[in-house]
Amino acid sequence: MKQDFIRARSSEQKSQRMADIKRATAQLYRDFPYHEITLTTIAERLGWSRASLYKYVTTKEEIFLELSADARNAYFEDLLSAFPPTFDFNASAIAASWAQIAEANKEWFVYGDILMTIIETNVTLDRLKAFKKGYFDYLDKLYSQMGAMLGVSKDRFDYLISTIHFHGTGMVGGCATNPMVSQALNELGINNPKLDFRSSMEEFICMCLHYWHHE
């Protein structure tokens, strides 16, 4: 049922509208595959008309880019809080904490599964530039705080962050339950072992840290 829509005027009202849009879209993504989510279904979830939604976004990818930015910021902020400059290098301890943070911020890896191939291909250049700037600004902050402790150059640090992200993106998809995949494997008589996201991330991060520390 559509609600009476009052267009936002102040910056605070506009921010609240975008927060409502992101919340509705995130809820839909938990319940439906990406290809079934449209601006129409998002507007219906909000109780708005599609025309009202168009006042704030022109594609669903613009919303998912905002959701990705929020998830990224939360993940990187948790890393900054967990590893102060005084933190001593201990690969096992770092990997355990990092994996816990990844588990708590799994949305960053979930959105990563469609970020480069879908989301970033259908947004405006200005939105994409703002997103990329936010990402690289965080890399600079993280390196200034963690680089010396990890004993890696800036280039290697950036590569480490990307490597962990790509592994997490693959793992989060592998840990998801797809009934059709399970049925296909069962009918083929192939064992489909359950994957544990956190333990896999911890093992992988620890391996990377041992490899790159003072390489």
Where residue 98 sits, what CATH number does that domain have? 1.10.357.10
Q: For residue 189, what pLDDT is reported?
A: 81
Segments forming the whole domain that contains residue 25: 1-57
- The whole-chain average pLDDT of the chain stands at 90
pLDDT in tens, 165-180: 999 999 887 655 566 7
Say what the pLDDT of residue 185 is. Answer: 78
This prediction has a pTM of 0.87
199 and 104 both lie in a single domain? yes
Looking at the structure, tell me whether residues 68 and 110 fall in a common domain: yes
pLDDT tens-digit map of 69-113: 999 999 999 999 999 988 889 999 999 999 999 999 999 999 999
Q: Are residues 63 and 20 in the same domain?
A: no
The per-residue pLDDT for 190 is 82
CATH code of the domain covering residue 13: 1.10.10
Same domain, 135 and 76: yes
Question: Do 180 and 143 share a domain, yes or no?
Answer: yes
Tell me, what's the pLDDT at 81? 96
pLDDT of residue 69: 98
Answer yes or no: are the C-beta atoms of 102 and 161 closer than 8 Å. no
Give pLDDT < 50 ranges for the chain: 1, 4
Number of domains in the chain: 2
Same domain, yes or no: 85 and 142: yes
Same domain, 22 and 94: no
The answer on 27 and 68 residing in a single domain is no
Last residue of a domain, one of 29, 57, 85: 57
Residue-level pLDDT at 4: 47
